[in-house]
C-alpha cells in the first residue's frame, strides 16, 4: 500500500532515482504546456492567455479526485502523505510577496527552471534572483523567526478545519474550475481581439 | 484566435492545456503514491543556498539559526529527494524543448513595450521577491500551492488563493512589462 517508499516497499536509493524521473515528468509537462514562457504566465493576469489557469486547475482536480480513488481502493493511505502545515501570518505574507514577484518576474521557481532548460535568459536571471532572495531570507531569519513560527495551526486539511468531507471539497473545486475555464475562455477571446502585437 | 498574426515559425506549438493539466495531475499523483511527498522546487534552491554557506564557512553555517537546521543530519545539504527531483525538472524541460523544437540560441523573452535591460532587471527583482516569499510561504507555486491544494491542505489552498490574487492585484502597476 502506498506511499510505497514510506512503507519500505522500495529502497531509499531507488526512491531518489525515481525522484529524477518524476521531476522529468513535471518539467516536461511544464515546458510542453507553455510555462517556459513568462509572457504566457503573465497573460493570465492581463486576460490574453489563461493557459496557467487551465493547466493548474486541471492538475489540482485530477490529483484531488485521484487521491480519493486511490484511498477508496485501499491502495494509498492518505494519513501517511505529506500535508503542508499552516502558519497563518507568515504564509499569507509570503504568498503576497510571491504574487508580487511573479507579476514582476513573470515566472515561479518551477517554470523558471523549465524555461532555463530551453535557453531563456530572463528565466536564468529570475532563478539567480530566487537564490539571492532565499540567501537574504536566511541571513535575516533570526529577526523573522518569531513571526515565521507564529499562528501555527498544524498540518491541517480543509476537512480538519471545516468538518466537510474531502469528496465535497473535490466536487466544489471541480465546479469552480469548470466555471473558471468557461469564464476565462470568454475573457481571453475578447482581450485577444484588442491586442494586435501579441504573437501566440 | 483567428484575428491574431501567425507566428513566423511554428515553434510555439504547445500541447492542449487540459491534457497538460491531466498529465501534471498524474505526475503529482504518482509522486504522492510512491514517495508520499510534494512536488516542490524552491526547497532545492534553499538547499543550494545552504550548501554554498556550508562551503564558504562550515562553522558559521552550523551555528546559524537557519542554515544549521538543514545541516544537522550530517549528509550533504543537497542530498535530498527534492534536489534529485528538481534536477529531473530541468532535464524534463530540456527533453520537451528538444522534442517540440523550442531549443534555440539563448535569448531574452519580453513584452512588446519593454527593453531587454528592464526585462532582465525585473526578472532578478521578481526572483528575489519570489525566493524570499517562498520561505515564509513554506513553498512555492509547485510545492505549496499545487501540491498543497491538491492534497486538501488548508495551507496549500491559502497560498494558492493569495498568491494568484496578489499577482492579479499588482498586475495593473506592472502592465508596461507585459502588454
Output the pLDDT for position A195.
Answer: 77
Q: Are residues A22 and A75 in the same domain?
A: yes
CA A55 from chain center: how many Å?
10
Q: Are residues A10 and A31 in the same domain?
A: yes
CA distance B12 to chain A (A): 7
Q: Which three cell numbers stand for residue A82?
A: 505529506
**What is the full per-residue pLDDT of chain B (179 aa) written as tens digits?**
444 444 444 456 899 999 999 999 999 999 999 999 999 999 999 999 999 999 999 999 999 999 999 998 778 999 999 999 999 999 999 999 999 999 989 999 999 999 999 999 999 999 999 999 999 999 999 999 999 999 999 999 999 999 999 999 999 999 999 98
Output the pLDDT for position A194.
Answer: 84
Summarize pLDDT for A39-68 with one digit per residue, the tens. Answer: 999 999 999 999 999 999 999 999 999 999
| Rounded average pLDDT over A70-80 | 95
Is the ipTM above a cut-off of 0.85? yes
Q: Are residues A74 and A171 in the same domain?
A: yes
Separation in Å, CA B125 to CA A102, B148, B174: 10, 26, 13
Q: Are residues A33 and A90 in the same domain?
A: no
Residues with Cβ within 8 Å of A20's Cβ and at least 6 positions away in sequence, in order, are B84, B85, B87, B88, B91
The answer to whether B31 and B150 are in contact (CB under 8 A) is no
Summarize pLDDT for A136-174 with one digit per residue, the tens. Answer: 999 999 999 999 999 999 999 999 999 999 999 999 999
Chain B residues with CB inside 8 Å of A36's CB?
A: 93, 96-97, 102
% of chain B residues with pLDDT over 90: 87
Residues with Cβ within 8 Å of A171's Cβ and at least 6 positions away in sequence, in order, are none
Number of domains chain A is built from? 2
Residue with grid cell 498574426, as numbered in its chain: B5
Q: Are residues A89 and A54 in the same domain?
A: no
Q: Are residues A14 and A109 in the same domain?
A: no
The answer to whether B39 and B29 are in contact (CB under 8 A) is no
Q: Are residues A2 and A74 in the same domain?
A: yes
Q: Are residues A38 and A68 in the same domain?
A: yes
Q: Which three cell numbers stand for residue B139?
A: 513553498
Output the pLDDT for position A183.
Answer: 97
Which residues on adjacent β-strands are paired with residue A154? Answer: A86
Q: What are phi and psi of A76, to 5 degrees?
A: -135, 130
Q: Are residues A5 and A67 in the same domain?
A: yes
Q: Which three cell numbers stand for residue A123?
A: 528565466
Chain B residues with CB inside 8 Å of A105's CB?
A: 122-127, 129-130
Summarize pLDDT for A12-34 with one digit per residue, the tens. Answer: 999 999 999 999 999 999 999 99
Q: Are residues A30 and A106 in the same domain?
A: no
Chain B residue with the nearest C-alpha to that of A189: B1
Q: Are residues A100 and A1 in the same domain?
A: no
**Hey, how many other C-beta atoms are within 10 angstroms of the C-beta on A91?**
29
- Best B68, B94, B132, B146 member to test A by mutation, with max A CBs in 10 Å, is B132
Summarize pLDDT for B30-57 with one digit per residue, the tens. Answer: 999 999 999 999 999 999 999 999 999 9
Q: Are residues A9 and A61 in the same domain?
A: yes
Q: Residue A93's domain spans which residues?
A: 85-154
Amino acid at each position: 500500500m502506498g506511499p510505497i517508499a514510506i512503507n519500505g516497499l522500495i529502497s531509499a536509493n531507488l526512491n531518489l532515482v525515481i525522484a529524477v524521473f518524476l521531476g522529468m515528468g513535471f518539467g516536461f509537462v511544464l515546458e510542453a504546456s507553455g510555462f517556459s514562457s513568462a509572457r504566457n504566465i503573465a497573460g493570465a493576469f492581463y486576460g490574453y492567455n489563461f493557459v496557467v489557469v487551465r493547466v493548474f486547475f486541471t492538475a489540482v482536480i485530477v490529483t484531488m479526485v485521484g487521491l480519493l480513488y486511490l484511498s477508496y481502493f485501499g491502495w494509498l493511505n492518505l494519513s501517511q502523505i505529506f500535508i503542508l502545515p499552516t502558519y497563518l501570518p507568515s504564509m499569507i505574507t509570503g504568498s503576497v510577496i510571491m504574487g508580487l514577484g511573479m507579476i514582476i518576474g513573470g515566472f515561479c521557481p518551477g517554470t523558471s527552471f523549465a524555461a532555463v532548460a530551453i535557453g531563456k535568459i530572463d528565466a536564468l536571471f529570475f532563478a539567480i534572483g530566487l537564490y539571492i532572495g532565499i540567501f537574504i531570507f536566511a541571513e535575516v531569519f533570526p529577526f523573522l523567526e518569531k513571526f515565521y513560527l507564529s499562528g501555527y495551526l498544524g498540518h491541517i486539511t480543509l476537512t480538519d478545519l471545516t468538518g466537510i468531507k474531502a469528496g465535497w471539497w473535490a466536487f466544489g473545486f471541480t465546479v469552480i474550475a469548470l466555471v473558471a475555464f468557461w469564464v476565462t475562455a470568454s475573457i481571453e477571446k475578447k482581450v485577444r481581439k484588442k491586442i494586435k502585437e501579441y504573437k501566440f | 484566435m483567428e484575428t491574431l498574426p501567425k507566428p513566423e515559425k511554428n515553434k510555439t506549438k504547445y500541447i492542449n492545456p487540459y491534457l497538460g493539466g491531466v498529465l501534471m495531475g498524474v505526475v503529482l499523483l504518482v509522486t504522492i503514491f510512491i514517495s508520499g511527498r510534494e512536488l516542490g522546487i524552491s526547497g532545492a534552491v534553499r538547499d543550494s543556498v545552504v550548501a554554498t554557506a556550508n562551503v564558504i564557512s562550515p562553522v558559521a553555517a552550523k551555528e546559524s539559526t537557519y542554515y544549521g537546521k538543514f545541516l544537522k543530519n550530517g549528509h550533504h545539504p543537497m542530498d535530498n529527494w527534492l534536489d534529485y527531483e528538481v534536477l529531473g525538472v530541468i532535464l524534463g524541460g530540456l527533453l520537451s524543448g528538444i522534442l517540440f523544437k523550442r531549443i534555440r540560441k539563448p535569448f531574452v523573452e519580453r513584452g512588446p513595450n519593454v527593453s531587454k535591460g528592464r526585462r532582465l532587471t525585473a526578472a532578478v527583482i521578481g526572483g528575489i521577491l519570489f525566493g524570499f516569499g517562498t520561505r515564509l510561504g513554506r513553498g512555492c507555486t509547485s510545492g505549496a500551492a499545487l501540491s498543497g491544494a491538491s492534497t486538501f491542505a488548508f495551507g496549500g489552498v491559502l497560498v494558492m488563493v493569495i498568491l494568484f490574487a496578489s499577482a492579479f492585484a499588482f498586475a495593473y502597476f506592472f502592465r508596461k512589462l507585459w502588454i
